Amino acid sequence: MDISERILALKEQKGMVILAHNYQAPEVQDIADYLGDSLDLCYRAQELDADTIVFAGVRFMAESALILNPEKTVLFPAFDATCPMADMLTPDAIIAAKKRYPDAPVVLYGNTTAACKAHADVICTSANAYRIVSSLDADTILFGPDKNLRHWVAGQTDQTLVPIPDDGYCYVHNVRITEEDVRSLMAAHPEAAVLAHPECTPAVQDLADKIVSTNGMLAEARSSPARSFIICTERELCYRLRKEIPEKTYYEIPHAVCDDMKKTTLATLYEAMATEGRAMTLPREVLERARRPLERMLELSRR
Ligand code: 13P
Ligand code: SF4
């Protein structure tokens, strides 16, 4: 048996379920039970019957799975896979901002640590950010950490979104995907529709036909009359697009790679599943305080 077959056998034998984010390496996507964007994976984690979830993604996603299912075991094989944007916001920065804006609710992007989520009123993801913000009866909202997501949502509402921190960003979308990258693909493929993730810079957002989450890109590729797409997000989403919607064409940005998403390998998955090591844990107080804002998000954006 090769390693993929051994993982599948172990999964069956131990009744484990593998959840994987759309940016995972192809061989990890191939053995996952469910692939999704961060919102979809929260719903999946909440709905599952299995006692053990194996999470292929970055730390904040595995933390959210545990916060929503404290009675389950969440194995997180790539223990050092963090999201650098999540690490740009600290609980102290939120506390300081709350002192300046005592009446403003705190909306945090899912790409935050559990310790930060414990200070939020509600969480959002790229799939529901506008819906969450506009559902709040507040003129001023503290919003973080992604400045580009903030820019995109702020453009659709009259509410004032105060950034926390001032300059939070994702290095893949904000730095590795440039306006020039997108313009040169557009010049080479003028017929292609441009799909951009809201973590991209305002200049890239301005070039896009649609600004959507990673699952939103799959939905758009399925339903759009366009036959080809320029995909402005982490390049591995194109593996899923090609596999599930092979009749269309996708142009990726080859250097748009999230290094942390690639820390989950078949070897680390097998090891974690075989030994049942690398279980995610969080301090009880954080676990309990972070649950309400996550559950509030799921209630506000019911699929
Ligand atoms: P999605 O929720 O759209 O999959 O995005 C998560 C993420 O980390 C994007 O960089
Ligand atoms: Fe974080 Fe960016 Fe990687 Fe998404 S792509 S997990 S925001 S570093």
Question: Do residues 294 and 121 make contact, with C-beta atoms less than 8 angstroms apart?
Answer: no
Shortest-distance Cα residue to atom 2 of ligand 2: 170
Query: How far is the CA of 2 from the CAs of 9, 132, 263, in angstroms?
Result: 11, 45, 20
How many C-beta atoms lie closer than 10 Å to residue 187's C-beta? Answer: 8
DSSP letters, 118-140, are: TT-SEEE-TTTHHHHHHHS--SE
Is 256 part of a structural domain of the chain?
A: no
Cα(15)–Cα(51) distance, integer angstroms? 8
Residues with CB under 6 A from ligand 2: 58, 83-85, 111, 170, 172, 199, 234, 258, 260-261
Residue 300 phi/psi, 5-degree rounding, is -70, -20
Note the ligand closest to the C-alpha atom of 259: 2
List, for residues 222-255, the tens digit of each pLDDT value: 999 999 999 999 999 999 999 999 999 999 999 9
Nearest atom, ligand 2, residue 234 CA: 5
Note the ligand closest to the C-alpha atom of 41: 1
Closest alpha carbon to 20 in 274, 268, 277:
268
For the four alpha carbons of 214, 127, 123 and 295, in that order, the dihedral sign comes to negative
List, for residues 65-110, the tens digit of each pLDDT value: 999 999 999 999 999 999 999 999 999 999 999 999 999 999 999 9
Domain that holds residue 10: 3-83+261-281
Shortest-distance Cα residue to atom 9 of ligand 1: 199
My answer on whether 296 and 147 are in the same domain is yes
Q: Which helix (H) or strand (E) holds 205?
A: helix 202-207
pTM (2 d.p.)? 0.97
- The CATH number of residue 46's host domain is 3.40.50.10800
Place of tokens 């690490």: 87
Q: Which helix (H) or strand (E) holds 296?
A: helix 284-300
* Domains held by the chain: number: 3
My answer on whether 58 and 28 are in the same domain is yes
